[in-house]
Structures are given as structure tokens and as C-alpha cells.
Structure 1
């Protein structure tokens, strides 16, 4: 079975991705800082669980060593601090950048090391509206997501010619979850629909790879 690793797993998009990949025949590894709430998802999908800090180089290296050879990597962690620039805690800003951007670099580096000798693989990085436009009182998240988008663009240009598909997905809108139920018709993105879009990226022919995909509900303003 081909193997997929999802880093930053919760009960929303990443859970839908896990179910979709399992449905398509993938052996799954799910990673998060706290795996205590992932038992039911792991049982449902037959996935292995791995506790890891996405921003810790040693932890990420150990994670990839434990998981083994991958066909698909999805980087999905999120951390943010909000507030006026003049009042932000520098350590919280640092942590936002570490999780959102530096952790993405660590994961892409380890995945590339595995995939380059085989000349194939897919790396998908979950972005956000904040990676395209910075919002007031959300500078740290914008900084991190802009950096993640830059990483994706650079990695795609480097790795596409070597057989590794890298794509950045802009999630331009809120995602429905247990903590964020639907409040109006189609006001939130359906995580299962997003997972289907990720799957379409995974199965794209090499002659027509996407480097970036934007997803938004029809009510979301551009």
C-alpha cells in the first residue's frame, strides 16, 4: 500500500483527508502535538499515530524515520496569535512563524530526502487567505502563511523537474467542523469537499501539475 503522512491532524480538514486517503487505499500515518483525541480517527482509518512538534527539527526527523517511505505528505498544522502589532507578544509571534512556516520547511526537507531517490511523490501544503492578503491584527499569521507560500513556490520549481509534485492550497474561507458548525447555506467550506480537491491534486498527470489551488465557498468575497 502507498503511504501518506498528514502532519497537524485534528477533527476538521485533516480528518476528512485521512478518510479520503484511506478510502483510496493508502496506509496512513497521522501526526500531531497531542494525539490523545485521535484514537477514534486512527481506529476508523487504520492509521498509526505519532506525537511530534512540527517545529522541532529532531522531532520531525524522528517522525519521518518512524513512518518510512512516503508517497504523499500533507502539511496542515496551524498556530496563530492575534492583536495589534504594538501589543503582540514576541514569543507568540515566534511560535506562529515556527509552526506555520519553519515546520513546513522541515517537513518538505524530510519528504524531499525520501522522495528524490525514487523520483516521485506528492507534497501538499495547506495555506490560507492570509498567505495572499494580510488582515489587520493578524500580522504573525500572514507572515507565516506568506512564507509557506514562498516555500511551496520555490520547492515546486526545484522538485517538479525531479518528479515530485509540490502544491500549495489556499483555503480562502472558514472550514466547517464540530467546533464551527454550519451557520448559513454554503457559508463554510465542507472539509470532505476540500479533501476531494486534495485527492485530485495527488492524481494529476505530471504533464499538467498544479502548483497552487484556491478553494472558497461561493459566498466568500475575493
Structure 2
């Protein structure tokens, strides 16, 4: 049997959602293309997968806001080499976040958040549809956030981008679901106990404790379950939060 293939965009730290999703699919025997813009980080994910002895992985240095680079990444993932199937799992995980007072928000900052949080999803989603619809199958998963559903003070730029990404996922699901493509949007409602939050806000991590934060491996498990859902009961939107989260 040939080896299945997945590609995960927006992979950063090995202790984060992107790295965890790569490891989870590799654990099922997938060849995983680890796509991110920091070579050292994506190579660390590849090395950990190689050390596990299960599945395989390959680093793809990719800026998901660059159309040419996204297309090139899909070209590679759809032609993964002898003994491997074209990628039928695509994860769009790019994101950034920061609290910025609305009156101090610059046009450059707003555009940067839109490009990372929404435009990248358009590029990944469009290419996924172009490549997977001819196969008549596949899973496309977009990583959302609390801001996908509501805007809060200091987060207008972030919420605008993530809400746009959510609409991309819904439009794709309605158009391509009947053609065999499972498109899902995952709302990550809460902080993630990973390198990014621990580095940016250690006081928050200390205050809420591990039970007040999402585990990246637990999130990745849900991505795997979405991919494995039967066609008779597909989830389009899934919201995840720690049990102590106030929502």
C-alpha cells in the first residue's frame, strides 16, 4: 500500500498546534510536509518525527502570505515521490496575535494581521480546492480562534482577519462538500499551553495553570478525528476550549 500524505501550513514551535498536528498524522503513518517560515522550527518538528520511527516528514520553507510559495508547496505535496499518495489532508494553521488599541492601530499592522490570518487561508484553501476536487476526496482544516466569533477591545485587527477566515471555510464547505471535500473550521477558544504563550505571557500561564489552557496534543487529536469522520456526519465547525474557560 502507498503512504498517505498531509501538508500542514503555519507550523512554528514544536510545542504548538502546528507541530502537534504534524506529529499526530505522522503517528498514523502519514508522510507530512511541515510548512512554515522559520527553517529551524520546522526542521525541529521533522527531526522529532524521524526520531519517533513512525511516519515521515519533510520541511518546506513557506511564507503562507506569498502566493508563489504556497503554490510551490502544493506542487510538492501533490507529487510526494514514489510510494506516496498525493496529499489529501491540508491544514491551514497560520496566525498571529497582539493587543493593539484601535486608535493606535496602523494601516500596516491591520494589513499584516489580515494577510496572515485571512489572506493566507484564501491562498491555501483555493489551492486545496484546485488540487483535491479532481481527486473527489480530502480534508481541509482551518485553525480559528475566539476572535473568529467575537471582537473584543484591542483585538479588532485580529477578529477581522479570523472572522474572514471563518467565512472562507463556510463558503468552501458549502461549495465543495457535495463534491467530496470535507472543509472544517476549528475555533480555538482559549490560550494554548505552548511555547508562544509561555514566552509572551508567563504570568498568565502561572495564573490560570495548565487546566485553564488548551493542550496542543489534545487539539491535534481533534484534527485527526475530523479527518476520520464518515461522510454521513461531517463537522463543519468545532469549538475547543479548556473546561475552566469562561465563555
Interval containing the TM-score (normalised by the shorter chain):
over 0.9
In the alignment, is the contact (CA less than 8 A) between 1:85 and 1:139 conserved in 2?
A: yes
Partner of 2:59: 49
What displacement does 1:185 show? Answer: 4.5
Equivalent pairs counted in the alignment come to 222
- 2:235 paired with 1:218: no
Q: What is the distance in 1 between the residues matched to 2:167 and 2:133?
A: 21
- 2:222 paired with 1:197: yes
Structure 2 CA distance for partners of 1:104 and 1:179, relative to 1, 3 Å: closer
TM-score (norm 2): 0.87
Q: Which has the higher helix share?
A: 2
- 2:100 paired with 1:96: no
In the alignment, is the contact (CA less than 8 A) between 1:81 and 1:96 conserved in 2?
A: no
Q: What is the distance in 2 between the residues matched to 1:180 and 1:138?
A: 17
Partner of 2:43: 39
Structure 2 CA distance for partners of 1:57 and 1:178, relative to 1, 3 Å: closer
In the alignment, is the contact (CA less than 8 A) between 1:101 and 1:145 conserved in 2?
A: yes
What displacement does 1:57 show? Answer: 1.1
Partner of 1:112: 129
Partner of 2:12: 10
Q: Which moved more, 1:140-149 or 1:183-192?
A: 183-192
Superposed CA offset, 1:150-180 (max 9, x none): 0111100001100000000000001111344
RMSD of aligned residue pairs (Cα, Å): 1.3
Q: What is the distance in 2 between the residues matched to 1:36 and 1:113?
A: 30
In the alignment, is the contact (CA less than 8 A) between 1:79 and 1:95 conserved in 2?
A: no
Unaligned runs of 5+ in 2: 50-55, 79-85, 199-204
Q: What is the distance in 1 between the residues matched to 2:166 and 2:45?
A: 29
In the alignment, is the contact (CA less than 8 A) between 1:169 and 1:214 conserved in 2?
A: yes
In the alignment, is the contact (CA less than 8 A) between 1:82 and 1:88 conserved in 2?
A: no
TM-score (norm 1): 0.96
SS in 1 for 2:238: strand
Partner of 1:209: 234
Structure 2 CA distance for partners of 1:62 and 1:26, relative to 1, 3 Å: same
